[in-house]
Structure 1
Amino acid sequence: MTSVTPDPKRNRKVGLMAGGLALAMLGLGWASVPLYRMFCQVTGFGGTTQRITEEQASAVSVSARTMSVRFDGNVDRGMPWRFGPEQITQTVRLGARTMAVYSAKNTSDKPVVGRASFNVSPDEAGKYFTKIECFCFTEQKLEPGQDIRMPVTYYVDPDILKDPEAKAIQQITLSYTFHEDRATAAK
């Protein structure tokens, strides 16, 4: 039997390649959430809404066609808030800026910080539902017993009528769920 002498240069090269691959995988894992979020915002995938500024919204033309928008509000299990829309549905003209208002109340005896996640259904409508201003972009801190009103300014893009998969949609549902942010509250 012949013995093989290890080649230090080759071992170092393999070690560097394995380390580089491990670092690349770690970097991809770290970047996957923001990359996925960016993908969803661009494509409307999974009911993710679009977001624009007031200035961009003013350039959108308003259609005579209307759409029903339904609002839903929930809190994560164990979160001591009451949260929901002040109005369940609105009929809006496509392209017209509209405001919906949600209200929240902290029912506990301590400050609670929350952050809202949102979704639009049906999924095909996500890329046409555009938020101009929304409480979901920032965390919300409510003191014990505090009641607040939270507006959402939005419009439904008239281009929904050009999409063969979305043009037959009669109603869009905007749903929010508030989650307690215990890490921020502890600071």
Structure 2
Amino acid sequence: MKRAFDLLLALFAAAVLALPILLVALAVRLTSPGPALYWSDRVGRHNRIFRMPKFRSMRIDTPAVATHLLDNPAQWLTPIGSFLRKSSLDELPQLWSILVGDMSFVGPRPALFNQDDLIALRTERGVHELVPGLTGWAQINGRDELLIPQKVALDTEYLARRSFLFDLKILWLTAVKVLARDGVFH
């Protein structure tokens, strides 16, 4: 049922958001050199690597590490990068990852391929068995502000509590957080 829900919601969202997606892509291209999309190597279900698209919010010469590991993340942002991140518009291309089955709407956020500490903790706790999500229990309980052990504890709680109703609650709370721009780094 979860996969069917993901497909239907992703198709609906893609249709409704087609114009905003095109406008954001155009804005990214017009405000900085390079492609509109950034394809990031991420860790999916069973620790399989997949390529996840995002609208590019950082310069093309930015090191491939988690944002919080950069010395001065703001120096790497494109002119509209901060807005894209705060509004979560940079996440819209991930509808593609949901459509092809690499991601779900709700699950643990996919780790970067080089976040060995996060990957190891998730594997130890069985979280790697889940399809990663566009949003998740950790995202609505701290997002970028969480330390890795806190994030994994919340991912583990999601693993134990997952259900269709819990996913709907997380989606609702995500919408509230995004509209409030709560817990977003740059």
TM-score w.r.t. length of structure 2: 0.24
Q: Which has the higher helix share?
A: 2
TM-score w.r.t. length of structure 1: 0.24
**Rg bigger for which structure?**
1
Higher relative contact order (CA 8 A, sep 6+): 1
